[in-house]
């Protein structure tokens, strides 16, 4: 399997991996926090999806208004525009104040739809790439070290998985079992 094929399988899996984390959660559980300033599952999910969207935008060389959040209609659907917010104005949730976190849409269906849109955007763009394209240099902030396309994609996918682990932990704190874990035999 070449690199593009491998990354494509990772991108195709995003919606199912996310759905597993949202499975069975009530609206209250989706926004439950273990501590007053801790992030809730909905925000963690939105953040990691936005980061995937942003990194793909960097690889594609597009401005934020051409990221999936905007082109797939999520800004219009929610009225929420993250451009210019947080650290460096990236609008991906990093560096958000508590008020900014509270303003992020926290709806399971919206998050599932966004994951599907990002997955489709990745698959479509990856279909236009070769493994050699992964070596392309990306634009970086002044003073930042050079970065290649493969690093942006790897960072997005790796951090998605790390954040899904955070969601698993919060589900555990809520007492919700992992739907993929083997079940104990019943004593019936």
pLDDT in tens, 45-92: 999 999 999 999 999 999 899 999 999 999 999 999 999 999 989 999
Phi, psi of 88, rounded to the nearest 5 degrees: 55, 15
Determine, yes or no, domain membership for 188: no
Determine, yes or no, domain membership for 87: yes
Determine, yes or no, domain membership for 136: yes
> How many domains, the chain?
1
Helix, strand, coil: what percent of the chain each, to 5? 60, 0, 35
Are the C-beta atoms of residues 86 and 98 closer than 8 Å to each other? no
Angle between helices 41-60 and 149-173 (to 10 degrees): 170
Gap between the Cα atoms of 159 and 125, Å rounded: 20
Determine, yes or no, domain membership for 187: no
Determine, yes or no, domain membership for 181: no
Are the C-beta atoms of residues 67 and 54 closer than 8 Å to each other? yes
Write the DSSP assignment of 91-126 as a string of letters.
Answer: -SSTT--HHHHHHS---HHHHHHHHHHHHHHHHHHH
Are the C-beta atoms of residues 67 and 53 closer than 8 Å to each other? yes
Determine, yes or no, domain membership for 141: yes
Determine, yes or no, domain membership for 180: no
| pLDDT tens track for 5-32 | 999 999 999 999 999 999 989 999 999 9
Are the C-beta atoms of residues 146 and 45 closer than 8 Å to each other? no
pTM for this entry: 0.92
CATH number of the domain within which 26 lies = 1.20.120.450
* Whether residue 182 has pLDDT greater than 80: no
What dihedral do alpha carbons 56, 57, 58, 62 form, nearest 10°? 150
The whole-number pLDDT of residue 22 equals 95
The whole-number pLDDT of residue 187 equals 66
Determine, yes or no, domain membership for 179: no
| pLDDT tens track for 85-132 | 999 899 999 999 999 999 999 999 999 999 999 999 999 999 999 999
Domain of residue 53: give its range: 3-173
């Amino acid at each position: 399997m070449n690199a593009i094929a491998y990354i494509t399988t990772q991108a195709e899996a995003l919606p199912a991996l996310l759905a597993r984390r949202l499975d069975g959660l009530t609206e209250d559980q989706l926004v439950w926090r273990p501590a007053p300033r801790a992030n809730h599952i909905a925000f963690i999910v939105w953040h990691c999806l936005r980061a995937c969207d942003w990194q793909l935008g960097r690889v594609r060389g597009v401005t934020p208004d051409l990221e999936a959040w905007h082109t797939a209609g999520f800004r219009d659907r929610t009225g929420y525009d993250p451009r210019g917010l947080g650290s460096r104005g990236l609008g991906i949730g990093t560096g958000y104040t508590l008020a900014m976190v509270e303003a992020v849409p926290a709806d399971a269906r919206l998050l599932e739809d966004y994951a599907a849109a990002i997955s489709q955007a990745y698959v479509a763009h990856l279909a236009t790439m070769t493994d050699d394209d992964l070596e392309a240099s990306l634009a970086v902030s002044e003073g930042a070290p050079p970065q290649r396309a493969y690093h942006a994609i790897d960072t997005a996918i790796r951090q998605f998985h790390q954040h899904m682990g955070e969601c698993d932990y919060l589900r555990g704190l809520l007492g919700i079992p992992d739907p993929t874990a083997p079940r104990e035999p019943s004593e019936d």
